[in-house]
């Protein structure tokens, strides 16, 4: 138990330091915004570029791993959308945002550091395989559904253009795409470029975790309590349970199964709120779900590590 706490607590303590620093006005909102901009638009793309560029082609075509994780993810998204519509009587656009919140696990800011501390750097190959497709899959699914709703059916050329523009204006997706190109093509990367991106990459997770703590001070858990708790429950419990079940049936190797389940067990990331902001729908549900699920994951992630150890 003590060893597992040593894995989980440092990650959440960094978030807590960021939260406390903002609450005590030691830093400003502008500081946190700048820190998150640095992390999400520069440092994390460099981290993912470096990691993905070193993956072998076979890692990108790991169909059992990807099929398990994203097959369950598609089911979770559908359950979130249908549940929000039928159980909580939300509009279809609100329901898509709620489904997106159930689906989009914080696999980079929390999944990577927790996996690394729990199982070592050598265990991260499966994480990076999942992450390489995470933002494109989640944003592609969410944006496509929302644009179809707004277009009244199958999106036309303008909607398709908007979907791709929204996806490929995301710095994280660009970093992953560049890494995929290097890995598949075998293009050499000059040492000076590798050294520079490695320097930025080392700052990515500490900066992002600290900034995330400050950002969370803006989210107020108020109203829509039942819907918010449902999103939290789906994210922290149902998503990893289904992933564990499907992965076990498929026969994933233990290392890949651990990575898939632990990624699925992460709370919704800030991207869940950003997606809600893009469309101006279910903002309170998205914001409160991020806050409450992140706090709750201190306990649930520790429990999942017990299960997976």
Whether residue 195 is predicted with pLDDT greater than 90 in this model: the reply is yes
Take residue 240 and report the two structure tokens written for it: 């990893």
Q: Give the Cα separation of 111 and 135 in Å (integer).
A: 14
At residue 218 the predicted structure's pLDDT band, cuts being 50, 70 and 90, is confident
How many CB atoms are closer than 10 A to CB 28? 12
Whether residue 187 is predicted with pLDDT greater than 60 in this model: the reply is yes
SS3 217: coil
Q: Give the Cα separation of 85 and 95 in Å (integer).
A: 6
Whether residue 1 is predicted with pLDDT greater than 50 in this model: the reply is no
Between 239 and 174, the higher pLDDT residue = 239
Query: What are the pLDDT digits (tens) for 60-105?
Result: 778 999 999 999 999 999 999 999 999 999 999 999 999 999 999 9
* Highest averaged pLDDT of the listed ranges 11-15, 211-215, 236-240: 236-240
* Highest averaged pLDDT of the listed ranges 199-208, 209-218, 225-234: 225-234
Query: What are the pLDDT digits (tens) for 128-148?
Result: 899 888 888 898 899 889 888
| Percent of the chain with pLDDT strictly greater than 90 | 40
Q: Which of 47-61, 252-266, 290-304 has the lowest mean pLDDT?
A: 47-61
Q: Give the Cα separation of 190 and 231 in Å (integer).
A: 45
What predicted TM-score, i.e. pTM, was given to this entire model? 0.82
Question: What's residue 246's pLDDT?
Answer: 97
- Do the beta carbons of residue 98 and residue 81 sit within 8 Å? yes
Question: What's residue 230's pLDDT?
Answer: 96
The enclosing domain of 70 has a CATH number of: 1.20.1530.20
In the block, residue with structure tokens 């199982």: 119
Whether residue 172 is predicted with pLDDT greater than 90 in this model: the reply is no
Whether residue 2 is predicted with pLDDT greater than 60 in this model: the reply is no
Question: What does the mean pLDDT of the chain come to?
Answer: 87
Q: What mean pLDDT is predicted for residues 23-30?
A: 94
Q: Give the Cα separation of 30 and 50 in Å (integer).
A: 29
Residues belonging to the chain: 309
Range of the domain at 236: 2-308
Domains held by the chain: number = 1
Take residue 279 and report the two structure tokens written for it: 């469309």
Between 174 and 238, the higher pLDDT residue = 238
* Highest averaged pLDDT of the listed ranges 5-14, 53-62, 258-267: 258-267
Maximum alpha-carbon separation in the chain: 56
């Amino acid at each position: 138990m003590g060893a597992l706490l040593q894995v989980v607590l440092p990650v959440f303590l960094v978030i807590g330091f960021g939260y406390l620093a903002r609450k005590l006005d030691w830093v400003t909102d502008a500081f946190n915004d700048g820190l998150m901009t640095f992390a999400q638009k520069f440092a994390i793309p460099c981290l993912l570029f470096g990691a993905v560029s070193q993956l072998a082609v076979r890692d990108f075509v790991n169909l059992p791993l990807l099929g398990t994780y994203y097959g369950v993810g598609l089911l979770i998204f559908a359950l979130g959308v249908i549940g929000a519509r039928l159980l909580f009587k939300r509009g279809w656009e609100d329901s898509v945002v709620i489904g997106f919140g159930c689906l989009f696990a914080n696999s980079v800011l929390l999944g990577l550091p927790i996996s690394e501390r729990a199982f070592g750097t050598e265990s991260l190959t499966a994480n990076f395989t999942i992450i390489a497709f995470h933002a494109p899959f989640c944003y592609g699914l969410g944006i496509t559904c929302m644009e179809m709703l707004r277009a009244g059916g199958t999106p036309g050329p303008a909607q398709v253009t908007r979907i791709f523009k929204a996806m490929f204006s995301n710095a994280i997706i660009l970093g992953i795409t560049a890494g995929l190109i290097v890995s598949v093509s075998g293009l050499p990367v000059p040492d000076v470029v590798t050294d520079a991106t490695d320097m930025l990459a080392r700052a990515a997770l500490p900066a992002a975790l600290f900034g995330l703590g400050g950002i969370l001070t803006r989210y107020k858990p108020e109203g829509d309590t039942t819907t918010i708790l449902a999103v939290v429950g789906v994210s922290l419990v149902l998503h990893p349970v289904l992933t564990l079940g499907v992965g076990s049936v498929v026969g994933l190797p233990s290392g890949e199964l651990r990575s898939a389940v632990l990624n699925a067990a992460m709370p919704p990331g800030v991207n869940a709120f950003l997606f809600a902001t893009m469309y101006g729908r279910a903002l309170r549900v998205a914001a409160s779900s991020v806050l409450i699920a992140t706090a709750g994951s201190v306990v649930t992630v520790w429990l999942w590590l017990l299960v997976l150890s």
